Amino acid sequence: MKLTPLFYFYIIVMGIPCYAATQNTTSNMPIVCIEGILPDGESNIGMGFMVAPGIVATVQHQIKDAKKIKVHLGNSNENAEIIRQEDGLALLRIAVQSTPELALDNILPRKGTKVFTYHCQPDKNHIPTPVKSEIGTITDPQRRGDNANSFIEAELAIQKGNSGAPLLGEDHHVVGVINGYDGLKNNLSVSVPATVLIQLMAKEKTIQFKELLLVQGEKYYKQKDFYHAQKRFELAIALQADYYDAYTYLANTFFALGNYAAARDTLHQAIAIDIQNPNAYSFLAAVSNKLSDAVSERNALQRYLELENDPTTVQNAQKMLQTIENNLSQKNRATTVLP
């Protein structure tokens, strides 16, 4: 008799920690116009985009020397404060927490990748508004700059008001941040890689970036976009190697993909971090069942029963364990060679 993993599935897959998703109540546009007001009253108009609740990313030169910074969210203007700036990028904080954010790619785009961006221009009411650009192409994903940094070069005509805008792939993920254009070729843009922005966000402890990655990954998981869910969870682990929740989320993703061996290996990593969590053993039993590894399934269930206190789930697990042991006993008798 082959056991169904439904019991384990409900404990783990349906019971994974769930971070509250952001509600879009103020603006559905994660791309914003930024106005840096200079001491002489003049303004620099550029772009930025939401990367976390209340957090806007842009380029440093967009806000250089500004005595006041405003972020235009639809019809509202939000005052912004600088919370961190380095490597040509800046992070700003605004009071609004309910605007959706863009997901960042943690790998460089390939040459030939199609990309697009936005620029800022006044609408009919003279309100700075993001406007989508034409589609361009990555020409050099690692163009060397004047210093040790490298930029993403794209054949993408930009104009005044583009600085700080996201460079977006066809999946609408951020691959870079528009920094400017080639001084000799106006149709070539240069962008700071999104990987640099990821490291900057990871340094800023007030953002809770790793938790945000789980929120994004869970959203993709529910949409059955397991590829991007996997990337979010793997990035969270790359930022914190002992992030237990990220490992269990990743194991769930591998399980959904049918990659049970990867799910098993990921769960072993989670268990190494927290050997006292019964849920990991319950899930490991389910994975072992899918791998037709009855011995590992039995061992995982036994460990689960040592740690779990809930009477109902313990009773169900005991029944399953008894069935597994009976099956193993019958198999052993069937394979015994009599003299």
- Amino acid identity of 218? E
Contact 135, 115 (CB under 8 A): yes
Q: Which helix (H) or strand (E) holds 243?
A: none
> How many percent of the chain have pLDDT more than 70?
87
Instruction: Quote the pLDDT of residue 24.
Output: 33
Query: At which residue do the structure tokens 């340094």 appear?
Result: 203
In the chain the domains, ranked by start, together with CATH numbers, are 31-93 (2.40.10.10), 114-200 (2.40.10.10), 208-330 (1.25.40.10)
Residue-wise pLDDT tens digits, 277-329: 999 999 999 999 999 999 999 999 999 999 988 888 888 888 888 988 888 88
CA dihedral over 304, 306, 307, 312, signed as positive or negative: positive
Collapse the DSSP code of 65 into the 3-class scheme (helix H, G, I; strand E, B; otherwise coil) and give the result. coil
Reported confidence tier of residue 146, pLDDT bands at 50, 70, 90: low
Q: Which helix (H) or strand (E) holds 45?
A: strand 43-52
Q: What is the DSSP string of 90-116?
A: EEEE-S---S--PPBPSSPPPTT-EEE
Angstrom distance (rounded) from CA 70 to CA 244 = 39
Contact 116, 156 (CB under 8 A): yes
End-to-end CA distance of the chain: 29
Query: At which residue do the structure tokens 């791998």 appear?
Result: 291
Q: For the residues 124-130, what does the mean pLDDT come to?
A: 76
Collapse the DSSP code of 168 into the 3-class scheme (helix H, G, I; strand E, B; otherwise coil) and give the result. strand
Collapse the DSSP code of 302 into the 3-class scheme (helix H, G, I; strand E, B; otherwise coil) and give the result. helix
Average pLDDT, the chain: 85
Q: 173 pLDDT exceeds 90?
A: yes
Q: 4 pLDDT exceeds 80?
A: no
pTM over 0.75: yes
Residue-wise pLDDT tens digits, 36-89: 999 988 888 899 999 999 999 999 999 988 999 999 987 788 999 999 999 999
Residue-wise pLDDT tens digits, 192-238: 999 999 999 999 988 889 999 999 999 999 999 999 999 999 999 99
- CA angle, corner 239, sides to 174 and 60, nearest 5? 45
